[in-house]
Structure 1
Amino acid sequence: MKDFVISTDTTSDLPESFILKNDIDIHPLYYAFGDEIYGKNNILSEKEFYARMRNGALPTTMATNPEDSEELFQKRVDQGLDVLHIAFSSALSSSYNNSALAANEVMEKNPGSKIIVIDSLSASMGEGLVVYRAIQLKNEGKSIDEVAAYINSHLQNFCHQFTVDDLNHLHRGGRVSKAAAVLGTLASIKPMLHVSSEGKLIPVGKVRGRKKSLIALVDKMEETIGSYRNETDVAFLSHGDCIEDAQFVADLVKERIGINVIINPVCPTIGSHSGPGTVALFYMGEQR
Structure 2
Amino acid sequence: MNESKVLYERRGNLALLTLNDPGRRNALSREIVRGLSGALDKASNEGVRAVVIAGSGPAFCAGANIDDLRDGWMESPHPDEDPAVMFKRIAEFDRPVVAAVHGAAVGGGMELTLACDLVVAAESAWFFMPELGHGVIPNTGLALLSRVVGLRRASELILTRRRVSAEESLDIGLVNRVVHGDKVVDAALSLAEQIVESVPPGALKAAKLNLHAHAAIDWNRVLKSPLDVPKQEWKEGLTAFNEKRAPEYGRFWEDTKHQIKGANLDS
TM-score by length of 1: 0.25
TM-score by length of 2: 0.27
Q: Which has the higher helix share?
A: 2
| Larger relative contact order (Cα-Cα within 8 Å, sequence gap ≥ 6) | 1
Q: Which has the higher strand share?
A: 1
